């Protein structure tokens, strides 16, 4: 059984009168157990909508979404238990400490307080979060530190499927490396299947088994990074992933990362 299966998923949004946008335009995608699949795409290409549909926050107009064989549209509660989403919009109780927020998160997933406390310490240390600061209110922490708490919360509940929506965007270089190293470790242990949306080509290449390129709600290419590069080879020269991205999308990396108009 696959960790994730999307078949012909569509989602349209009304932008203004008479103007619609196909955020997801006939998306089919499979993630095998233990596999890390990256999605690279410019702003507005539909990555967040993809993550929201899988995490049952948005209902697709048509198509099927199965998480470990369970229909996500018909049984959102069951599916939510088997996955966790990390995104910049992660919600916390800002006045409470990181530790209190993490304990609360663990409780929702049925992890006991004692078990949670041990694991919280271990996870925070692994991702380079100074445990002494875990007692401070969330609102005192930098964005990078809050992002690490969001990641810790996702890991704490041992989700079978992790949806990482730009987990390193906005982090300082050191935090970024720590978070990436942690994702790499999870990957090596093969204990989670991961969908990773990112702007960062190197991150995608280093962390993902397969990478998809998304533009205007469609996945243009999805393959192992090496195979993608071979596919776009010209005159016997193998391009890097950045060049593949430009060739496939017509966007430069800078344009892809720029704010949506
Ligand atoms: N709730 C909504 N209402 C109207 N339009 C929406 C809504 N959510 C997304 N869209 C539109 O759907 C398209 C895809 O958006 P989405 O946020 O999924 O892209 P993205 O690739 O995640 O971009 P970003 O990297 O900026 O988050 C965009 O044109 C966006 O404006």
Q: What is the second-level CATH architecture of the domain 1-82+161-172+195-261?
A: 3-Layer(aba) Sandwich (3.40)
Which band of pLDDT confidence, cut at 50, 70 and 90, is reported for residue 260?
very low
| Atom 29 of ligand 1: nearest residue by CA position | 44
pLDDT of residue 232: 86
| Atom 16 of ligand 1: nearest residue by CA position | 46
- Percentage of the chain modeled with pLDDT above 90: 49
Domain ranges of the chain: 1-82+161-172+195-261, 89-158
Phi and psi at 76, nearest 5°, equal -60, -40
Compute the mean pLDDT over every residue in the chain, rounded to the nearest whole number.
88
Which band of pLDDT confidence, cut at 50, 70 and 90, is reported for residue 96?
very high
Which band of pLDDT confidence, cut at 50, 70 and 90, is reported for residue 261?
very low
What is the spatial distance between Cα 118 and Cα 131, in angstroms, rounded to a whole number?
12
Look up the pTM and report it. Answer: 0.87
Ligand 1 mutation pick, 18, 20, 44, 196, max ligand atoms within 8 A of CB: 44
Q: Is 41 exposed, middle or buried (0-12, 13-18, 19+ CB in 10 A)?
A: buried
- Which ipTM value was assigned to this complex? 0.95
Binding-site residues, ligand 1, Cβ < 6 A: 13, 15, 21, 23, 41, 43-49, 260
- Indicate whether 44 pLDDT > 80: yes
Expressed in angstroms and rounded, the spacing between residue 45 Cα and the centre of ligand 1 is 7
């Amino acid at each position: 059984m696959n960790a994730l299966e999307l078949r012909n998923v569509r989602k349209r949004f009304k932008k203004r009168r008479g103007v619609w946008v196909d955020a997801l335009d006939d998306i089919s995608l499979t993630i095998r157990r233990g596999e890390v699949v990256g999605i690279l795409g410019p702003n507005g290409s539909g990555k967040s909508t993809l993550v929201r549909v899988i995490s049952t926050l948005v209902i697709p107009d048509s198509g099927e979404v199965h998480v470990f064989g369970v229909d996500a549209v018909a049984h959102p509660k069951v599916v939510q238990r088997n996955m966790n989403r990390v995104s910049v919009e992660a919600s916390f109780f800002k006045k409470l400490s990181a530790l209190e927020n993490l304990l609360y998160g663990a409780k929702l997933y049925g992890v006991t307080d004692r078990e949670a406390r041990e694991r919280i310490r271990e996870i925070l240390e692994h991702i380079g979060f100074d445990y002494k600061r875990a007692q401070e209110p969330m609102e005192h922490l930098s964005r990078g530190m809050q992002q690490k708490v969001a990641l810790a919360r996702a890991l704490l509940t041992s989700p079978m499927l992790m949806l990482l929506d730009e987990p390193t965007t906005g982090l300082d270089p050191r935090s970024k490396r720590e978070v990436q190293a942690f994702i790499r470790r999870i990957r090596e242990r093969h204990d989670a299947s991961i969908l990773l949306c990112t702007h960062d080509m190197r991150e995608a290449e280093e962390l993902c088994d397969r990478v998809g390129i998304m533009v205007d709600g469609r996945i243009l290419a999805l393959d192992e990074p090496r195979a993608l590069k071979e596919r776009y080879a010209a005159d016997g020269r193998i391009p890097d992933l950045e060049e593949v991205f430009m060739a496939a999308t017509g966007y430069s990396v800078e344009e892809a990362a720029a704010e949506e108009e």
